[in-house]
Every structure is written in structure tokens, then in C-alpha cells.
Amino acid sequence: MNKIAFFIIVVLLITETAFSQIINPPLGRIAVVADGNSPDPDDLGGTAVTLALLRAAGLEDKLVHYSHSCDIVPSNRISKAAERERHALMQTTCDGTARRWGGFEHLTFIDAKWNLDKAIEDLAKSINASTANDPLWIVEAGEPDLIGLALDASLKSKHKFVKVITHHPANDQTGEFYEWEEILEFNVEEVRIPDQNILLKVDEKQWDWAKNHTDHRLSWVWLMGKTAEIDNVVKFQKGKWDCSDAGMIYYWITGANVNEGEIQPAVYQVKDMLLKYVKNTSEEKNKTKH
């Protein structure tokens, strides 16, 4: 029995160590530029998972900018009424996830299209605060225009401390004012990882663990992804739960290109990180009640 108990303890310690090694971000701060007001509604689930992951990793204070609805020029692929709805849903996803998970009180979530000057100023401010020991990592979860506008409005001397994470050419090449090559001409570092849709755009049932969980934080995250699934603007999200853009955040949390971050995370890895945090924080709440 002693040998069995010892073996179990060793396995548990190894498992705990392995998990703790997952959270190994590089130096610097993080900024996210998402769309969500374009035809594809995947940023609803992507935003909820992104914020939940940062909180679960204890890195919420590293998030210095979050803007959404960065598709600045109207598209004829989505009606004006549907786009207005998306703006509201994206703001709700940001504010609702931040309130439920906590830790983002320092941040204002900005609608980039409706508050373009404010979004440019806010992102440029974060760029200007960058140094070699405190670079800014920008997650391109939408069109590159806002990133280009903020770079143009910021100090050129700071651009060498900016790194832009991207995973899909659909984001890179859909800008109305900036093409991807023009973003790179600002002397920022390109950090490109594989298409995150491969493992993070999945059948709905892979998220039943969140749907059926008793903790409101997880059920909220599931609801945001479900809202995208029932969206009636596009058909390619039907039956799918999509948080593909959040794969870039998982990559950064686990090290990015500095500490060999996970370049192709799957749902089970997102699940493990969120469930561990929810379990630990629920236990802490229960202790304080007694």
C-alpha cells in the first residue's frame, strides 16, 4: 500500500508540475484587436475564451488594450441591422466576461469602429510604452487596419518593441487601409502560427463540459460561443463552437515564440486551464464562508 500511495503522490506532483509549466509567458504586455462586426461571428466565443484564459493564467493585468468591431468599412455581406446587433453582442461579451471572471477593472473595452479615434489613441499609447524588457504583443484577431493606424500614430522608435501575432490570412489581407506587408513595414516583428480553426472550431458537443457546468463563469463562456453558432448571417458556424482566435492567447500564455508556446492548442487544453482555475477559486470561496 505504501508503494501504491507513493506512486500516486509522484503522479500527482508530476501532473501539477506539468500544468504549472504551461503558464510561461514571455516578457511584455498583450493587446487584442478583434472584429466581430464582420460576417463571421466567431469573435464572440473567441473573446470570452481569451479573457477567461488570461484570468485563469493570472495574467489579466498584462492585458493593456482590447478593442472589438475593428472592421471599419461596412461590408455588403452583413446588413446594417445585423451589424448593429454584433456591436452590441461584442460589447456584451467583453463586459459580461470581464465582470464574471473579474480582474479586468483596469481596462476599457473599446468599440473600434464606433470609437475609432479612442481606439487608435489607446493602442498607440500602449505601443509608446514599449521597451526591450516590456514589449507589446498585439493579437491580430481581425482586420489589420486599426493596428496600422495605431502604429502610424505612435513613435517609430518604439515599433521595434512590438510583435504582432497572427494565425490566418483572412485577417491579414482584408484590411481596407493596410495590407499585411504594410504592417510589417513599420518594423514590427511578425509572429505567425498555424490556422487555429483546425482544433478550436469544433462540434458543439466538445463544449458540453462548459454548457453543463454549475459555475456561471463557464456557462457564460459557453453561451457566448453558442450565440455565434445560432447567428443567422453566415452558415459555416452551424453546429460549431468556435474560439479559434483565442488560440493566439493560449500560445502567448504558454510562451509564444520566446518560450516555445503551444502553437496548436486543442479544446481539451483550454478546458484543463479553465477548469483548474474555476475549481481552485470555488474552493477558496467555500473556505472563506466557513
Amino acid found at 287:
K
Assigned domain for 18 exists: no
C-alpha grid cell for residue 264?
496548436
Assigned domain for 19 exists: no
112: helix, strand or coil: coil
Number of domains in the chain: 1
In this structure, how many other beta carbons lie within 10 angstroms of the beta carbon of residue 76?
Answer: 6
Residue 163's nearest CA partner among 49, 43, 267, 30 is 30
Determine the Cα–Cα distance for residues 59 and 41; give it in Å rounded to an integer: 26
211: CATH = 3.90.245
Assigned domain for 13 exists: no
pTM summary value: 0.92
Determine the Cα–Cα distance for residues 145 and 160; give it in Å rounded to an integer: 19
Determine the Cα–Cα distance for residues 205 and 265; give it in Å rounded to an integer: 18
Contacts of 180 (CB under 8 A, 6+ apart): 144, 166, 169, 172, 173
C-alpha grid cell for residue 148?
496600422
In this structure, how many other beta carbons lie within 10 angstroms of the beta carbon of residue 212?
Answer: 10
Measured between its terminal Cα atoms, the distance across the chain in Å is: 34
Assigned domain for 4 exists: no
Domain residues for 104? 26-289
Assigned domain for 93 exists: yes
Q: What is the pLDDT along the chain (290 residues), one digit of tens a residue?
A: 455 544 433 333 334 444 445 999 999 999 999 999 999 999 999 999 999 999 999 999 999 999 999 999 988 999 999 999 999 999 999 999 999 999 999 999 999 999 999 999 999 999 999 999 999 999 999 999 999 999 999 999 999 999 999 998 888 888 999 999 999 999 999 999 999 999 999 999 999 999 999 999 999 999 999 999 999 999 999 999 999 999 999 999 999 999 999 999 999 999 999 999 999 999 666 666 54
Each residue of 141-154: b (16+ CB within 10 Å) or e? Answer: bbbbbbbbbbbeeb
Assigned domain for 15 exists: no
Assigned domain for 85 exists: yes
Assigned domain for 5 exists: no
C-alpha grid cell for residue 79?
446588413
Residue 173 has a pLDDT of 83
Determine the Cα–Cα distance for residues 219 and 108; give it in Å rounded to an integer: 23
